[in-house]
Structures are given as structure tokens and as C-alpha cells.
A and B are shown apart, each in its own frame.
Chain A
Amino acid sequence: MAATHRIAGQGRLTPAKTLRFTFDGQQMSGIAGDTLASALLANGIHLVGRSFKYHRPRGILSAGAEEPNALVGIERDATRKTPNVRATVQELYDGLNATSQNRWPSLSFDVGAVNNLLSPMFSAGFYYKTFMWPKTAWKNVYEPKIRAAAGLGVAPDQPDSDHYSARYAHCDVLVLGGGAAGIAAALAAAETGACVILADEQAEFGGALRFETGATVDGTDGWSWAQASVAKLAAMDNVRLLARTTAFGYYAQNLIGLAERVTDHLANPDRDLPRERLWQVRARRVVLATGAIERHMVFADNDRPGVMLASAARTYLNHYGVAVGKNIGVYTANDSAYAAAIDLKKAGVDIAAIVDLRDNPAGDLVEEARALGIEINHGRAVIRTGGRLRVSSMTIQPKNGGGERTIPVDALLMSAGWTPSVHLFSQSRGKVAFDEETRRFLPGTYAQDCVSVGACNGTDGLSASVEEAYAAGAKAAKDAGAKAARGTKPKVEASESWSRGMLGAGPGAGPETTVKAFIDFQNDVTAKDIRQAVREGMHSIEHVKRFTTNGMATDQGKTSNMHGLAIAAETLDKPIPQVGLTTFRAPYTPVTFGAIVNHGRGALFDPTRRTAMHGWAEAHGAVFEDVGQWKRAWYFPKAGEDMHAAVNRECVTVRKTAGLFDASTLGKIEVVGPDAAKFMELLYTNPWQKLEPGRCRYGIMLREDGFIYDDGVVGRLAEDRFHVTTTTGGAARVMNHMEDYLQTEFPHLNVWLTSISEQWAVIAVQGPNSRKIIEPLVEGIDLSDAAMPHMSVREGKICGVPTRLFRMSFTGERGFEVNVPADYGQAVWEALWAEGQKHDACAYGTETMHVLRAEKGYIIVGQDTDGTVTCNDAGLDWAVGKKKTDFVGIRGMTRPDLVAKGRKQLVGLKTRDPNVVLEEGAQIVADPKQPIPMKMIGHVTSSYWSDNCGRSIALALVAGGRDLMGQTLYVPMPDRVIEVEVSGTVFFDEKGERLNG
């Protein structure tokens, strides 16, 4: 297809650099520097999509980020598909593959367009009215259908193979918007030596100078001045230029979120490059130079492909060298559209007529247009358009009624004036104020250290904008602490006038009509819908917005909000400020999930923590389970073993001979100082003062509310030094809890806490042969029962490496926990393993650890307790120091409800059928024959098959459980009711003789 609408000699692109691309499978070509939109227009294509609700044919409205219509899918390959890309933002690259959306089977013949005929059904608020009856139809018919129809584009079906990155940055002055004002502000700030970042969403800086041919700055045309200024900035060390970067969010304390599109414009991006980079910039001062967005005119059928903003047509001509039509109509209520007509006419394009709603337009531009022979119809309105897939005519009429005249056109440009982009200002929590004279919202009260300059501040004209911006840039730098510098202020020698415009519906689309005069193109909201919303009682703009969905599409109403507001105000017969403005929220334009997630994907989604012995476990076939961020060896299956078989073997082996277990993940805290014991007394229920150095104790920690918070074995290494262990999952929060009390409640104590969780690798050697296994490797520690009884700790060496050797047991067997400096963990493990082999010991994982401790009735905090279990409930009253007058939880545990009768108590459960293993979490009832809902008196907390016991075992929390010993309770399951007998919690070696066995 030939580039029928590219005009030789127009625009700034180099014609020789052609690029191929496809749109809906059709091969076309464009030029380097094109956007997809400009390339399509160069090929004479306006029809690019179908609207969301009515499936009306839509064309390209704008030349920028405000685009509501031209949303396409871009597919690089199966794993890199992006829906809803604005064709006006997407830069062309060789091989670009774009597809239109929201149409079936094709863009020109779309079955969904039947919605347009049925549009009376889909009027404003139809969601809330239409699908009410019959009741069951919502679930079975309406919701599935609506879900299928909802949304634009097709979500990718494979994980995104691109990667994304992030960066925090700090600067003195952040300038948002790289048009004339932004460049001037950046120049002024940069000249002081301040650290400056200038960001703009377009590929090239220059903003409106892209189309504003009437501008002359510093003796050259505006665009050239912009490029020269940017080159000057780029050469400065203190300046960072971010093109293709959208400031999407303005957050507290001058933190700005920026999304930089790094590779979307490249044909074959280096795969090392991130597709997008998220910037979080903290700026001392922010200069907002975000410009203004042109509004469309609101009239019947103003959405036909070929109807577009005047400034967009001008941009396509002056920057891209593309004429958007060959016989173009213009409909305006302000001056700036004249400039488009003039530029096009001069480029040899026919201007069918300018239709100006104003009665007596005057000024240089009007004169110039007239002088060029362009027909000007003032005091008239375009009341509708003709055409189906492309506009073919405009029908005009005197604005107060009268004879109609239809003029053939192949494009229609419109301008209702310019809306200052106060989005970021408003996001910064600044308050906008309505300027009655110019009928626009402008920055009013500032909430943060920022300043608005240029068009976004309502400053009209290039000269005034540059003047204001330059001064603001210098002041921002000074306020940020930079020294004043003498710079050279850009001198604007010529500029164009952008006079006012209009808000709301034009003639022919008034309250008396039923025409479709679109306000919000993307969500198909018409002037009529707004009026209907008001009639139906929506008197706040926030309600009107939600009822009609005006401004709620992905373009967030950049072109529509002011029109909607004006029509609502008119219908309510209230001034605009009284109706209010909807809140601007981040993001300014859609941000990809990729950018938000950035590095946090795959392996970097969450840290994966591995112990020093992980490699050994992996090499020996361990299956791992996730425990928080840790990978823990779960069980070690031998060839042919399933989990059940492996765990049974491990459980039996530990009790028969011995087993090695990696306990490194346990939290460990070194408590040091002369008041260490006093501190321990306050944080744990147990008494500590009399614990001798070299001895250990099982400690329980409560929260202030009296419930069990954590537990662990604590060894006293010296008078002033404790080695505290915590649960794996509790390590960080227990440390925080202890620090909190130490720093804020007991700061008078001379004691300090240091996390040593990762200093020590811990190898549990458990079982009757445990001493024999460690003995040959240990130096300097007498391991005899007399010298080192159960619950003691010694320091010495193992394999020549320092160790803190605990004699303790979480299995009920004679056991040791060998702490060695982490880097030696694996080597010492291997040495112990070699010794263990001589005694047929096994390596065991967390599952066996769980079974063995359950056989002994040892609780696991967080499994057998749930934050509502007291020491008494858990049968651990013995661990509470009876003579103590203070510890955390001492008062909470005596609260009336915590000492009341009938609390759930930890008991054992034995199934009548020993082969049945209960499900953890299963509910327990006293009488299975009672009607549903049954009274549930407890639940199973731990349940396992125990080969050592030859039966299933379980722990449960049961109301008044300790009074029910020997009684039968029931566990109702979906397929049957399981009978259980209440028992003690110790299932194996009740007397505890094996600790020394």
C-alpha cells in the first residue's frame, strides 16, 4: 500500500528511512520517526478500532497520550503481546505488527455493532437497571456474557518474556514536561549547577513546538530551538534527560513515579535492555510544565473516523509530513484550529470550509485564512457528519437554527479550546481553582514544593510561558539550595495565539435532541447520557461520572471531563465550580504491571533463603518445603520410596539408632549484658535468674494479651550471656518484640540483643546413638551424662571448628544440637554424616521432625497454637514462674476469659480405627447425631501416621478437653464420621526415659 497521504517536503522525518509494518495483517510502510498513527494516516487509514459499548467505527483523534480511540494490540511474539497500546504513542519500528481491537470478525464488518442499533438499551446506567430480572439470570447469563464482552483488547496468555527494571533517583529540580516551558525551566535550573531531571512522554522533546510553526525563539524556529536547547542540556553533567518517560504519579513529599519506555520503539531490542524502567524520583523541587490538551467539539456523530483534533492534524502535517485528508473541514470555537487550516492549505491540501461557532472571529489567523481563500462560516455549527467507516460530509447550520448545508469532506478537524493538564498538580494534593473568565481549572493552592508553568498554569502564549518557566526554573534551583547563576534567558520572538474556546455541547446536540454527540469516546458517553444522569438524580459530578462512566476509561477523560462537567452544570443550572471536578488520580496514563513489579519477578519475586547444608540435602535427594522464605529439607526419599515410606523409615531410624536434621533456620538471638537474666525474666514466662551457666531451659514467650507468642530452648552461656532460639517463622518478629520492650519499656536494663540466626548452622543429631556419632569429632567437651546432662550447653570444638553444643531434644531421644559457624555447616554435617553412617543413622527432614515431636506431645507454636492459646490451654503451666511479679503477658493471662472454664485445651486424639489418620483442621463434635449446624467443640491441630506407635496420632484443641480423658468424640467428615478417644498428648515413651537412653 502506498503512502498516499505523505506530502513531499513536509515534516521532519527522513523519507529514505522506510520501515515496514502490518496492521490487521495488511503490509504497509512508514518512515523512521513515525508513530503507528502517523504511519497509518500516511497510508490513508483513519479507521483503527471499534468503540467499547456501541462498537462504532473509530479513528485517530489525537497525536498524543490523550488518545481515546486508536487503541491497538502490538505483538512482537507469543510472549510479548500488549493490548490497548495507543497508536499515537507507539513509535513505528521495522516489522511492527499491530491488530485492531474490539471487533469481530473484522474491523470493517463488526457483528458487535448491533449494539449501536440497540443503543436505547445501553443508555447511561444500564448496568444498574437492565440485568435485574430474573434473579438467577445474573449468575448464569448476564454476568458471563458481560464478562465476555467487557474489556478492550486481549490479555496476553503467556508470561511476559520481557524484563523490567527500576531505579530510585534524587534530584534538586525535576521538570515534568519537555515542551518550551519545561525546556526553559530546565535550562534555568541547570545553569545554577543544580541536579536536574527533565522528563517528557514523547520520543523527542519539544511539546507543542512539534506543530507550532509560528514560533521563533533565539532567532530560530521553535522546534530547532528546542532541539538545540536539549542538546545543550544533554551535554551538562548535572542534567538527566528522560524521553519516552511519563510522569504517572505525584506522591507525598515530592516523590514522582515515572515510567520510561526503553525498548518499545526498537525493532530488535537488546534483550539485556529492560522494556520499561520505573523511576521513583525524590525531588527537592518540581516544576510542572505539562501543557494543555485540546478538546473536541461536541456534536452529533462527532466520532466518525476522520474527525480529529485540529492540533493533531497539524502535528501530523508539520512533524510527520502527513495530510490527514485531501479535502478537510474545520469546526472550531477558537483560533488555534485556524493555524491547522492555514498550514494544510499552504501544504496544498484543500480546506473545504472553516466553521466557527463564534459570531465575529477576528485576528491575524482569521485574516490569514481568509487571505488564503479559505471559506469561513462564522456563527455556524456543524450539526452532524455523514459517512460510515470514514467521515464523508459535514452538515452545517447557523447556530440559532436555519437552513442546513452539507459539505463533502474526508476529514474534519475540531477544536473547542485547550484544557490545562493539572493532573499531576492535582495528584500532589494541590487544589485547583476555576477561572471564571477563561472557564478553566487552574492550579490554585499548592500542597507540595512544586510550581506550575506554561499552558498547564493557564499561561497563554509562548513568550509568557517561557518567561514564567525560566524564572520558575531558576527559583526552584535556588530553593533547592543551588547558587544563583547568570544564564541566558531564551528570547521568544514570535508565537501563536491560543485563544479561548467552549465547554459542553454545541448546537444540534442540546437537551432537546437525542443525537449521539460524544463526550467520552472510549466509554461511549454522549451529552445525552450526562443529562440523563442528572435527571435521574446524580447531582454530584462524582455520581455522574460513575453512573455514565464518563472519564473512567483508560484515557481517564483527558478530552472529556470538562465537557461532561459543563453539561452537568448546565443541566443542573449551577455554576461549574459548584458541581465540582472529579479527583485526578494516578496513573496519568496506564502503567504496565511489568513496570510496577520490575525486578521482582521469578527468582527475585521473593528472597529464597537456603541453609549452609542445602547443597548436601539437594545432592542426597531431599524434597524441600517452603517455610516462610526458607527452603527446608522435607524428607529424604530413597529410590522407590514415596513420602509416606520415607517419613516412616526416617521416624523409625531416629528412634532405633539416630538421625541428622538441619535445624539452621531456627531463629537465634544472643542476649548479652549484666542484666541479661533480668531481661529474660521479663520477656519469658519462665524463671531465668537461677539457671546456671551451661544449662538450658525451654522458654515460652507471651504477648501482653497473655497468649503464647513463641517458644524455644535457651542456653545460658555465661552469667551475662544467653543463646536464645526462636521458631523459624518467628525469628524476625520475636527479635522485634524483644527490641521493642528493651528499648521502650525496660531501657534501664544493661543488655543488648544481636541476631545470630545466620551466624550458626545447626545440626541436630538425635537418637540413641547420637552421642556415639558426635563423640569422635568433639574436642574439649565431656559428653558423659554426668558432665553434660540433658538440657545443657557447652562451648568447645568439633572438627576443629568452634561449636556451641546443646544437649537437647525435640524428638524425645537423647539428642544434641551442634551449632557451628555457618561457613563450616556443610563440612561438619558431612563429617557427622560419615560418623552416622557407621551407626546406620539417617538424614531426616521437617516432616519426620514433626511426627517425632508429636509422638512426644511437643507443641509447634503456630500449628498447635493460633494466637489464642494460653500456657494453661497448652498444658504448659509448668513453664510459668509462679513467684514472678512481672513478665510480658502476666496480666493478660489472668483476664477473666483466659481463666474461664471450658476453654479449648490441648489433648491427644486416638482414632478408634488406628489406621485412620485425621485431617488437620478437622472439626470435633460431642454428638454426631445432632442437627446441622452442629456445635463444634474443637479442632485437630496436628495429625500423623506414627510408625513408632503403630497407629495414627493427633493433637487437638478441645473445649474442656482435659476433663474428657478416655471419652469418645467425633470428627464428622464429608464421607463419614470418625470416632476418636481423647488421650494425653504424649504417645510415645510417656516417662521420658529415652532422653538418656
Chain B
Amino acid sequence: MAKAATKSAAPTVARAPALAGRDFSAKGVRLAVLAPAERMALRAPEASLAALSKALGVTLPKAPKTSAGKGARTAMWLGPDEWMVIDEAGGDPLADCAKVKQLHSAVGISHRNVAISVTGPAAAVCLNAGCPQDLSLAAFPVGACSRTILGKSEVVLLRTAEDAFRVECWRSFSDYAFAFLCQAATDAAA
């Protein structure tokens, strides 16, 4: 596995996350670009899940469209052998998995994605401007997550509360996704 050749001091240059600090409010919906987080794309067969879950401290969910969370760490089922693990408190899921001998693939994607939170009573309506999935609580309950479509881009959606979603998109699509959501939020408020 890859490892850094040396340990050295912290970066001497500044990190410039995409859309840092951007937010937008409309009646019933608030959008905010979330702070950078550690993210990992995890792929593994069934036999490795117990060991990986233990190492990560989160039981990797096996049911489609579900997530599991513990503390600042969330593991989202994206496919039958695919999870996205997010750590919002600086923990390093990659390092945690590096110890696991069982078959798996762990790839760092912290910088690949940008997260936008969509909150408020009209959050689901706002997302439904471009997301064709049924986002009712019955079909997409709290904790549900899915890769899907938002307008003309792909996103990963996680429902964090009845009226709150986390939208993960690729970095270069974040401009589009945020602009789309701003329009959608304005309309959702109408």
C-alpha cells in the first residue's frame, strides 16, 4: 500500500476548498457549503466487512440506501461492495483501514468531493427540483443515502434529519450543484 515517504511538518501552503463558506437562504431552505472532511471510497467483499467495521469503528451497512454513523464518522452504502466513509472531525479512515489485512480497496477522496447541506422544511422540495427520486420520509428516511442525479450532475445524497440533507458532489461540479440548488431553493420557497 502507498505510504508517505517521510513525515514532515504541516503544509506550508494554504488549503483552498471549493466554494468555501458559501451559503444561501430562501424561505424554508438554507444552503451551506460544509467544511472539508476526510473521505474514503471503500470497496470490499462481504468477508472483509467485519474486520473493516471494527477498524473503522462503524458497522458498514449492508442494506441498500442505508448509512451508519458513529460520532463524526458516517459510512454510506453506495453499492453492494461500495461505501463512502466520511469523517468530519479529522479522523483518518484511510489510516484505520491500512491495518486491515482482509481484502479491500481504500482510496482517499477527501478533496474529490464538496459537501453542501440543504436544510429546512422545504429541503426535500428543493432537491426534487433536480433529483428524480422520491424523497418523502417513507421512501427516503433519515439516514437514507444514495448516489443519484441532481439536474445534470451526479451527487450522493444523505438525509441527516427529517429536514436536512447532505449533498456530496465532485469538486468541479460544485459550482453547478450550488447554483442549481440556489435556484431550486428560491423556487421551493415560492
Contacts and interface: CB of A to CB of B under 8 A. Distances in A.
B130 A166 contact: yes
Contacts of B151: 599-600, 604
Contacts of B36: 823
Nearest to B106: A672
Interface string A666-678: 0000101110000
Contacts of A604: 151-152, 176, 179-180, 183
Contacts of A600: 151-152
Interface in A595-611: 599-600, 603-604, 606-611
Contacts of B132: 168, 280
Contacts of B175: 607-610
Contacts of B109: 754, 756, 759
Nearest to A282: B134
Interface residues of B, number: 59
B176 to A, nearest CB: 4
Contacts of B113: 758
Interface of A: 163, 165-170, 195, 262, 270, 272-274, 277, 280, 282, 599-600, 603-604, 606-612, 629-630, 670, 672-674, 717-718, 720-721, 750-752, 754-760, 779-781, 794-797, 799-802, 821-828, 830-831
A606 B139 contact: no
Interface stretch (B6-14, B50-58, B68-76): B6-14
B125 to A, nearest CB: 7
Nearest to B110: A821
A794 B3 CA distance: 10
A718 B6 contact: no
Contacts of A168: 128-133
Interface of B: 1-6, 8-18, 36, 41, 43, 45, 81, 103, 105-113, 125, 128-134, 136, 139, 151-153, 170-173, 175-176, 179-180, 183-184, 186-187, 189-190
Contacts of B172: 607, 609-611, 629-630, 758
Contacts of A603: 176, 179
Given A167-B128, A758-B111, A759-B112, 16 more contacts: A167-B129, A168-B133, A274-B187, A603-B179, A609-B173, A611-B172, A750-B103, A754-B105, A759-B111, A781-B5, A796-B4, A797-B4, A800-B12, A821-B110, A824-B15, A831-B13
A827 B175 CA distance: 20
Contacts of B105: 670, 672-673, 751-752, 754
B75 to A, nearest CB: 16
A795 B10 CA distance: 16
Would you call the interface of chain B mostly helix, strand, loop, or mixed? loop
Closest 9 pairs (CB-CB, A-B): A780-B6, A827-B13, A609-B172, A752-B43, A607-B176, A672-B105, A752-B105, A780-B5, A800-B11
22 contacts: A165-B129, A170-B134, A170-B136, A262-B190, A272-B186, A274-B187, A282-B134, A603-B179, A607-B176, A609-B175, A610-B175, A611-B172, A718-B1, A752-B105, A758-B112, A760-B111, A796-B5, A800-B12, A825-B16, A827-B11, A827-B13, A828-B13
B182 to A, nearest CB: 10
B130 A754 contact: no
A800 B43 contact: no
Contacts of A821: 110-111
Contact of B4 (A277, A674, A752, A802): A802
A718 B13 CA distance: 28
Given A606-B152, A752-B105, A796-B5, A599 B184 contact: yes
B9 A754 contact: no
A789 B65 CA distance: 47
A278 to B, nearest CB: 10
B113 to A, nearest CB: 8
Given A672-B105, A759-B109, A277 B187 contact: yes
Contacts of B125: 167
Contacts of B110: 759, 821
B128 A169 contact: yes
A690 to B, nearest CB: 20
Contacts of A169: 128
Contacts of A630: 172
Interface centre among B4, B105, B129, B134 (most CB of A within 10 A): B105
Contacts of B111: 758-760, 821-824
Nearest to B128: A168
Contacts of B107: 670, 672, 754, 756
A15 to B, nearest CB: 31
Contacts of A599: 129-130, 151, 180, 183-184
A752 B79 CA distance: 12
A827 B14 contact: yes
Contacts of A274: 187, 190
A797 B136 contact: no
A804 B129 CA distance: 39
Contacts of A830: 13
Nearest to A671: B105
Contacts of B106: 672
Contacts of B186: 272
A610 B19 CA distance: 12
Contacts of A262: 190
Contacts of B4: 780, 795-797, 802
A831 B45 CA distance: 42
A824 B14 CA distance: 7
B184 A721 contact: no
A268 B125 CA distance: 25
A780 B190 contact: no
A827 B136 contact: no
Contacts of A754: 41, 43, 105, 107, 109
Contacts of A757: 112, 170
Interface centre among A600, A779, A828 (most CB of B within 10 A): A779
B5 A823 contact: no
B139 A170 contact: yes
Contacts of B6: 779-780, 796-797
Contact of A799 (B13, B176, B180, B183): B13
A801 B11 contact: yes
Interface centre among B18, B103, B111, B130 (most CB of A within 10 A): B111
Contacts of B128: 167-169
B129 A195 contact: no
A610 B178 CA distance: 14
Interface centre among A167, A195, A781, A823 (most CB of B within 10 A): A823
B152 A795 contact: no
A721 B187 contact: no
A604 B180 CA distance: 7
